[in-house]
Amino acid sequence: MKIIVIGGTGLIGSKAVTKLRNSGFEVVAASRTSGINSMTGRGLADVLAKASVVIDLSNPPTFDGAEALEFFKTSTTNLLEAEAAAGVRHHVALSVVGTERLSESGYMRAKFAQEKLIKDNSIPYSIVHATQFFESIQKLAGLASDGATVHVPPVLVQPIAGDDVASILSNISVGAPLNSTIEVAGPEQFRADELARRRLIARHDPREVVVDRRARFFGAEVDDRSLLPSADARLADTRFEDWLARSLERAYGALRPPGPNTETDYYGVAPTN
């Protein structure tokens, strides 16, 4: 089985590539740096030759709604056409929990359009809706930053470790196509403002987190249900504290990071459930 990972050098893509290779599959990490461009179609025919599965983890360089829509429409159309010509039997795409609820967001409308193209195509597919990643909570905060402060709505989130997302995508990619959408999330819920505050502290980011109920997520107003998965979502195992401890160990090794008496006191955050 030959598997092509579009966006295979990114956060999730690189993890998925490693997991699949370690499991003995032939995997190609396709990206612009390797000469594969889904927006222009350059290199797609060659890289997809004899491929069985494509995992699409591509993303536009900006969250601007118009540019994101153009990117997903063009990129996805090019991919699906090249996959049909190559005889690809499974198209796997990563999307976002809450896409259908956040139509006020131009980026989410673009993701919704991408999903529609996949569903309307004849190639069997699996779409994975994931919650926010532990690794990118600071990016969620940064969307509402004015420099010295970060405005975050105090809504519930249920983030997931990037390794868990990559594992789920990898397992789905080598199985039978679902021809449907599944949701994946972490095992714990948190308030977004508290989690953002802890992540900024962990990164030694001096910005102050300000609770702001009017703050938006990708341009959309959100409430306690907007970013949470449904009751039948697939829950990953990795808890935030465990992920953070491993991240600190990789970052500091045997050195103890500055702060209070324990890493848990300094970096920990209590879940709401």
Contact criterion met (CB below 8 Å) for 90 and 52: yes
Tell me the C-alpha distance between 68 and 73, whole Å: 8
* pLDDT at residue 146 in the model: 67
| Separation of alpha carbons 220 and 95, rounded Å | 17
Residue 266 confidence (pLDDT): 29
Tell me, what's the pLDDT at 263? 33
For the record, the structure tokens of 267 come out as 């970096």
pLDDT at 55: 98
pTM summary value = 0.88
Token digits of residue 161? 């470790």
Beta strand 26-30 pairing with 2-6: parallel
Looking at residue 20, its pLDDT comes to 98
How high is the pLDDT of residue 191?
93
Residue 72: CA count within 13 A, CB half-sphere? 25
Amino acid at 135: E
Q: What pLDDT is attached to residue 203? A: 75
Give the separation between CA 135 and CA 113, rounded to whole angstroms: 26
Q: State residue 197's pLDDT score.
A: 87
Half-sphere exposure of 84 (CA within 13 A, CB side): 9
Instruction: Determine contact, residues 188/240, Cβ cutoff 8 Å.
Output: yes
Cα of 176 vs its chain's centroid, Å: 22
268 CA to centre of own chain: 23
Per-residue pLDDT of the chain (273 residues; tens, 9 = 90+): 999 999 999 999 999 999 999 999 999 999 998 999 999 999 999 999 999 999 999 999 888 899 999 999 999 999 999 999 999 999 999 999 999 999 999 999 999 999 999 999 999 999 999 999 998 876 665 555 667 888 889 999 999 999 999 999 999 999 999 999 999 999 999 999 988 888 788 778 888 899 998 888 888 899 999 999 999 999 999 999 899 888 877 766 644 444 433 333 223 333 444
CA neighbor of 237 nearest in space, from 166, 134, 183, 160: 160
Determine contact, residues 9/32, Cβ cutoff 8 Å: no
